[in-house]
Amino acid sequence: MQDQSIDEYWMSQALEQARLAAERDEVPVGAVLINDSNELIAAGHNQPISASDPTAHAEIIVLRMAASKLNNYRLPGTTLYVTLEPCTMCVGALVQARVTRIVYGAAEPKFGAIESAHQLFSAGKFNHSPEITGGVRKDECSVLLSRFFEEKRQQKKNKTSL
């Protein structure tokens, strides 16, 4: 498989995780982490509501699973696929874990910390800078999020009109 088709494949796996999050009434963000042999290490999705944990973003869930599985908090030689541009907290965790590459789908205009609200890697202040690829299957990722929030707004509107 070529790099682009590999990215498309793994982002589809992250999208499956995002759909699981939506089914559980969590913001639909999914992530998978693979090794340099293109083998899955961990997969997860947003869980802050169900876990009562503000840090339970998809990226953090996956990093925790992978670190536990590999018995190492450092995860060099790995690629993270996530459906939404990581926030500041997640970028910090990805730097600490030494993830080699970050591939994301949709940009996050309010909290995105790679290209949108903040460009944390562009300052060159981190001791680790992963390779970044944005916009992989961005339309699918964006539509999933948009529909989720549209349904939430409609549910809220229906409740207030009763």
User: Which residues have a catalytic role annotated?
Assistant: 59
E strand residue ranges, the chain: 30-34, 40-45, 79-84, 101-106, 131-133
Torsions phi, psi of 13, nearest 5? Answer: -70, -40
Residues 6+ apart with CB under 8 A from 122: none
**Euclidean distance between CA atoms 102 and 120, whole angstroms:** 13
Burial tier of 29 (Cβ tally within 10 Å: 0-12, 13-18, 19+): buried
Torsions phi, psi of 93, nearest 5? Answer: -65, -40
**Euclidean distance between CA atoms 103 and 21, whole angstroms:** 19
Q: Which two tokens stand for residue 7?
A: 């990215």
